[in-house]
């Protein structure tokens, strides 16, 4: 049989108050209703919870074993209620964000925390392919993505358009050029992200279109590793201006012929807008960017 919270609450109240009349007043119900709840619990499970001697009520061994469990139950229910009501007025709740690099979301996270300090934010970094999977499986609420899939119902907000630049060590022979062509890199080791990333697909497509191939390719799975490899002089890399960062140990030279650019989008499941924390974050991003969200 399905257990009744009302029956458990009646038992817990009588046990804590030491009697039916006090428990009935505390729960603002009639003593007869309270007694019916306790009797239904006992009869439904074939147990005796109280010894009744006149007006005196004491717990049986079974009742004494049950009391700490119901105590934890109602404490947890209070915590659930506190969490849910906090989420209603943005004094609690969670927001799970995903991106390929922290720079993409940090300005929006800062603005959100300035306005809503209570909700907890978590930022997960991964490649574009895994972020999309996490979004579909609702492990994250929103994500930054360069190529959101069309026809799958995702909501998007355009964030930025970044040109792709060539990143080199300061002592590299190409570092003093005002612009670099893809053809200039055929004798270089090209440091790239893994194939599941959007930037890798963009680079591979450009190489295929032009029929060019670098002397060697060095693959890694994080932008931090790309930066350190470039700084160490182990090769050159192509990345967006945002991903290139501001480390003065890296020289950034514009790429032309072909010129490449990356458009970043904030993407989300529109159904998640029902969550107040998600809706508040999306509304804030729309306000900052001046871009309304739309469905792909």
Q: What is the pLDDT of residues 261-274, one digit of tens each?
A: 999 999 999 988 88
What is the pTM (predicted TM-score) of this model? Answer: 0.65
Same domain? 108 vs 149:
yes
Instruction: Identify whether residues 100 and 113 lie together within a single domain.
Output: yes
SS3 69: helix
CB neighbour list of residue 45: distance below 8 Å, 6 or more residues apart:
1
Q: Does pLDDT of 26 surpass 90?
A: no
- For residues 249 and 288, membership in a common domain is answered with no
Supply φ then ψ for residue 294, to 5 degrees.
Answer: -145, 165
**What domain range includes position 37?**
5-88
Sequence-ordered list of residues with C-beta below 8 angstroms from that of 158, at least 6 positions apart, any chain: 263, 264, 265, 289, 291
Same domain (yes/no): 13, 76: yes
Q: Are residues 126 and 152 in the same domain?
A: yes
Are 21 and 151 in a shared domain? no
Q: State which of 69, 88, 107 marks the end of a domain.
A: 88
50 shares a domain with 27: yes
Confidence (pLDDT) at 191: 97
Please tell me the predicted confidence (pLDDT) of residue 82. 66
What is the rounded radius of gyration, in angstroms, for the C-alpha atoms of the chain? 30
Q: What is the pLDDT of residue 176?
A: 95
**pLDDT number for residue 110:** 97
Q: Which of 51, 68, 88 is the last residue of a domain?
A: 88
Tell me, what CATH number does 44's domain have?
1.10.10.10
Give the count of domains, the chain: 3
For residue 31, what are the CA distances in angstroms to 44, 45, 123, 134, 216? 20, 22, 52, 52, 84
Angle at 55 between CA 51 and CA 60, to 5 degrees: 15
Residue 87: pLDDT band by 50, 70, 90 thresholds?
A: low
Same domain, 148 and 168: no
Burial 73-111 (b: 16+ CB within 10 A, else e): eeeeeeeeeeeeeebeebebbebbbbbbbebbbeebbee
The CATH number linked to 288 is 3.40.190.10
Local confidence band at 101 (pLDDT 50, 70, 90 cut-offs):
confident
Q: Is the pLDDT of residue 79 over 80?
A: no
Q: Which of residues 57, 88, 119 is at a domain's end? A: 88
Report pLDDT digits (tens) over 117-147. Answer: 989 999 999 888 899 999 998 899 999 999 8
User: Nearest Cα to 175, choosing from 162, 187, 164, 166?
Assistant: 166
Is residue 7 predicted with pLDDT exceeding 90? Answer: yes
Residues 167 and 248 in one domain: yes
Q: What six digits make up the tokens of 195?
A: 């194939």
194, 245: one domain: yes
Cα–Cα distances in Å, from 2 out to 6, 7, 8, 94, 144? 12, 11, 12, 32, 44
Residue 58 has a CB neighbour count (10 Å cut-off) of: 12
Q: Determine the pLDDT at residue 1.
A: 65
Confidence of residue 201 (pLDDT cuts 50, 70, 90): very high
In this structure, the answer to whether residues 241 and 168 fall within a common structural domain is yes
270 lies in the same domain as 258: no
Beta bridge partners of 58: 51
């Amino acid at each position: 049989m399905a257990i009744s919270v009302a029956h458990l609450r009646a038992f817990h109240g009588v046990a804590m108050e030491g009697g039916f009349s006090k428990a009935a007043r505390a729960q603002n119900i009639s003593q007869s209703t309270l007694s019916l709840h306790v009797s239904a619990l006992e009869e439904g499970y074939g147990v005796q919870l109280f010894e009744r001697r006149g007006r005196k009520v004491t717990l049986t061994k079974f009742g004494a074993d049950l009391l700490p469990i119901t105590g934890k139950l109602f404490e947890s229910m209070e915590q659930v209620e506190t969490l849910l009501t906090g989420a209603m007025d943005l004094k609690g709740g969670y927001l799970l964000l995903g991106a390929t690099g922290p720079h993409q979301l940090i300005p929006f996270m800062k603005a959100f925390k300035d306005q809503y300090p209570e909700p907890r934010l978590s930022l997960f970094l991964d490649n574009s392919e895994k972020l999309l999977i996490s979004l579909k499986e609702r492990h994250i609420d929103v994500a930054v993505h360069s190529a959101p899939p069309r026809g799958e119902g995702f909501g998007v907000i355009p964030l930025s358009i970044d040109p792709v630049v060539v990143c080199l060590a300061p002592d590299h022979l190409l570092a003093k050029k005002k612009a670099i062509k893809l053809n200039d890199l055929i004798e270089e080791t090209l440091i790239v992200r893994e194939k599941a990333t959007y930037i890798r697909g963009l680079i591979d497509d450009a190489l295929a279109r032009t029929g060019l191939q670098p002397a060697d390719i060095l693959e890694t799975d994080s932008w931090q590793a790309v930066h350190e490899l470039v700084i160490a002089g182990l090769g050159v890399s192509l990345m967006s201006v945002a991903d290139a960062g501001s480390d003065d140990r890296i020289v950034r030279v514009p790429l032309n012929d072909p010129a490449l650019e990356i458009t970043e989008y904030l993407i989300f499941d529109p159904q998640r807008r029902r969550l107040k924390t998600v809706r508040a974050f999306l509304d804030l991003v729309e306000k900052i960017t001046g871009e309304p969200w739309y469905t792909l």
